[in-house]
Amino acid sequence: MYDIRPVRASEWRESRDLQLRALQDEDAAVAFFETYDEALVKPEGEWRNWAKIAGSDADGTPFIRDFVAVTLFGEWVATSTLLIRMAGDPELGGETVETDRGDFMGVWIDPYHRGQGLFARLVDEGMSWLADNGVPHSALWVHEENGRARRAFEGVGFERTGLRRIESKGPEIQLARPVRPGSSAGLGGAAGG
């Protein structure tokens, strides 16, 4: 019913439109660091460049990847972004990343397509990409008040690390799990959609 795959550089318009939809979600204020109004005025070149570096056809060693869920009718209905962070990279709160890991930077599913197992499939696709790139751990920061996102990630095996940071939008907590590609479905993956 859904094709889960990386974005291609030529699909910058579809990627932009999906991101703009995500930024209008009721939880966007605590889920994303960018606002709808900020994204709306970004020039075309920024959207093109993002799709170029985060797409499956990016040049060189990948460090970021955007994944999408597309229906049989070609409608883009979900997205996730992963960033590979190396030991020594800057960490949220001013510290440094202790070990190589992949960070889930944003996951969004259209409300009409939630509850279909898309969340677990997006996580699995991301885990496979991280494993293919030799990354052993995954993590994310989630706003303390974003219960929907926290429960969804916990439903696919992420656990609290005990790290908490106060950012411009309030308290963020870290969740993490080892990279195990293709394993989220058995962990209650439908929790997030």
Model pLDDT, residue 62: 77
- Smallest CA-to-CA distance from 11 within 61, 60, 79, 110 is with 79
For the residues of 45-82, what is the DSSP string, one character each? Answer: HHHHHHHHHHSTT-SSS--EEEEEEEETTS-EEEEEEE
Give the contacts of 61 (CB within 8 A, at least 6 positions apart).
Answer: none
CA distance 174 to 142: 6
Q: Give me the tens of pLDDT residue by residue for the chain, a chain 193 residues long.
A: 899 999 999 999 999 999 999 999 888 777 887 889 999 999 999 999 999 999 888 776 679 999 999 999 999 999 999 999 998 888 877 788 888 999 999 899 999 999 999 999 999 999 999 999 999 999 999 999 899 999 999 999 999 999 998 887 889 999 999 998 666 654 543 333 4
Give the contacts of 112 (CB within 8 A, at least 6 positions apart).
Answer: 77
The CATH number covering residue 56 comes to: 3.40.630.30
CA distance 47 to 154: 31
Residue range of the domain that includes 122: 2-192
Model pLDDT, residue 60: 66
CA distance 136 to 130: 7
Contact status, residue 30 vs residue 145, Cβ threshold 8 Å: yes
Model pLDDT, residue 55: 86
Model pLDDT, residue 30: 76
* Number of structural domains found in the chain: 1
Model pLDDT, residue 182: 64
Model pLDDT, residue 12: 95
- Smallest CA-to-CA distance from 181 within 102, 78, 75, 108 is with 102
Model pLDDT, residue 183: 65
